[in-house]
Chain A
Amino acid sequence: MLLKLILRNALRHQLRTTLTVVGLVVAVLAYGLLQTVIEAWYAGAQAASNARLITRNAISLVFPLPVSYEARIRGVEGVATVARSSWFVGIYQDPRKFFAQFAVSDNYLDLYPEFVLREAERQAWQRDRKGCLVGRQLADLYGFKVGDVLPLRGTIFPGTWEFVVRGIFDGSDSSKITRHMLFHWDYLNETLRKTAKPRMDQVGIYIVGIAHPESAPAIARAIDSTFRNSLAETLTETEQAFQLGFIAMSNEIIAAIRIVSYVVILIIMAVMANTMAMSARERTAEYATLKTLGFTPRYVAVLIVGESLAICAVGGALALLATPLAAELFKHFAGTYFPVFKVSTLTFWLQAACAVAVAVAAAVVPALRASRVRIVEGLRAIG
């Protein structure tokens, strides 16, 4: 009977309930998408490893470091491996077909267990000076196959460069982004010896593998102090910090998105509260009648909270169903900015929690008022 009353009351004003449900769906959906945008933004940083340090030029990322630093970094206590990596910034066919290319040392992949390469392909790459490796997502995008020639027009390193695809690496799971290309740093350096001698023997960043992630801060300090007062001072940080630094400038945007996502929920709370207040006010006499029959004030409060929960459950459930679909659409149109755009379980539960919070917050005041109003006052509220 309680359930009957709750459900039928909820359906009493069909237009009002429908509009409220639509509002709820939009709000909870928007909240979920905004949360997913934020998560996608941080996804790169979250995927970053704490077992890797990045050593770069302290002045700016665009200035390189001497190759001679490699041996000295390797000498720092706690350092297990050191790999070289330089941005190449070449153009494939036309500038819109942008993807990242790195000139790396042969041991680079040892530091990235999240990229999986067949042993045979790895050996083939190592044998071929002009060989390159491409990520699976990139290969799928442009149809690269092993043995293909991949021509790039250099920008910071002039000339036309031709690489031969020797292997395709996969992500260890679906969240890993494999949209980049790797080739031999040695090949880059040899070519520069002939074409641009002053720019040879330079490394964009060093990737430093460490055995104990917990000693990362100490190792980073040790590396940086090794090069203090040298020509090129270094800045070493964990890969995660490095990535976050990349998006630090976007922090204000992220904060704004986060605020908007909660404002949306606050607005729907107000709308829902209004709906519940109107309904409860109209039914003042009915609630008083129930109390006259011997139902307790608590029963009346449960009726109102239950009705609010029922409406929010429908709105919330529809939104939860719609969110993955909307996320797919969003990805379709904005996928290049967010390679990983998936609604997380956390977001799912946050959305559900929001719907429940809206229901409870909206019902509290009407429920308290209806349960407290004196019976005689309530009965007089008849039209």
Chain B
Amino acid sequence: MASTEAMSPIVEIRNVTKAYRRGGQIVPVLTDITLDIHAGEFTALMGPSGSGKSTLLNLIAGIDRPDAGELRVDGLDVTALGETELADWRASHIGFIFQFYNLMPVLTAFENVELPLMLTPLSRAERRERVELTLAMVGLTDRQEHYPSELSGGQQQRVAIARAIVSDPTLIMADEPTGDLDRVSAGDVLGFMRRLNDEVGKTIIMVTHDAQAAKMARRILHLEKGVLTNGER
């Protein structure tokens, strides 16, 4: 632990605030969040529905912007980036896993995983090699040519995980990745994420409602009405 503490954190959040306007009314969602996440950590973010978990995750992933406060990822002030720069930044730094997989229905498993690589200068052959390797890692080699509609929920989520990791991003973000899965599939997915953290040292931030799921993580954060409560372990 001491060695991790010494390194500067990969995610630095300082006094971040976010509110939504709804019908002329301002609804505070996140209030004065300050948080560090270190490289190689597997963090679970828990809290009741509507507490702002997804919002916080989206801010870190650069798909939403804070109203105030500082947000640095890998030393870079993400809030200062323009729309296009931010898109480029996401492509190389963020792997996102959604609750409902969000695969492109018109693309095969292979093509879905290849999608993020289209934004890299990799050649066709290099892309193929990487996609095949990644699909093998999630155990779907024999399902490459299947469309999402031909896969089970668990398999779809594994494709989504493959898509999230194929370009080797700095952070893996998962918003209730097991929320739509049965116990067994959820176990598969969580086991895989744990291995990703253990064996490859990926930094993972995962939102979850599920205490079982949270146990897989090494660190648990609790969010309550937009405020981080000190439920860390």
Measuring CB to CB, which residues of chain A are less than 8 angstroms from any residue of chain B? 1, 4-5, 8-9, 12, 285-286, 289-297, 374-376, 379, 382
Contacts and interface: CB of A to CB of B under 8 A. Distances in A.
Given A1-B118, A376-B58, A379-B98, A292 B64 contact: no
A303 to B, nearest CB: 11
Contacts, number: 69
B96 interface: yes
Interface string B83-94: 110011111101
A340 B91 CA distance: 61
Given A1-B115, A286-B102, A289-B104, 15 more contacts: A1-B118, A4-B106, A4-B107, A285-B102, A289-B98, A290-B115, A291-B63, A292-B61, A292-B90, A292-B96, A294-B87, A294-B88, A296-B87, A375-B58, A376-B63
Interface string B112-149: 00111011000000000000000000000000000000
A382 B105 CA distance: 13
A296 B106 contact: no
Which secondary structure characterizes the binding site on chain A? helix
B111 interface: yes
B131 to A, nearest CB: 12
Contacts of A376: 55, 58, 63-64
B116 A294 contact: yes
Contacts of B192: none
Contacts of B106: 4-5, 8-9, 12
Given A286-B102, A374-B64, A293 B90 contact: yes
Of B83, B88, B92, B115, most buried by chain A (CB within 10 Å of CB) is B115
Given A4-B107, A5-B107, A293 B64 contact: no
30 contacts: A1-B111, A1-B114, A4-B107, A5-B104, A5-B106, A8-B107, A12-B105, A289-B104, A290-B115, A292-B61, A292-B90, A293-B90, A293-B91, A293-B96, A293-B115, A294-B87, A294-B89, A294-B92, A294-B119, A295-B87, A295-B91, A295-B119, A296-B84, A374-B64, A375-B63, A376-B55, A379-B63, A379-B98, A382-B100, A382-B102
Given A1-B118, A374-B64, A376-B58, A291 B111 contact: no
A373 to B, nearest CB: 12
Contacts of B98: 289, 379
A289 B102 contact: yes
A179 to B, nearest CB: 58
B65 to A, nearest CB: 9
A375 B106 CA distance: 20
B63 A293 contact: no
Contacts of A12: 105-106
A376 B91 CA distance: 16
A376 B87 CA distance: 14
B195 to A, nearest CB: 23
Nearest to B84: A296
B111 A294 contact: no
A13 B175 CA distance: 30
Nearest to B100: A382
Of B58, B104, B107, B115, most buried by chain A (CB within 10 Å of CB) is B104
Nearest to A5: B106
Contacts of A296: 83-84, 87
Question: Closest 7 A-B residue pairs measured CB to CB?
Answer: A294-B91, A8-B106, A375-B63, A289-B102, A294-B90, A376-B64, A296-B87
Interface in B161-186: 163
Nearest to A291: B87
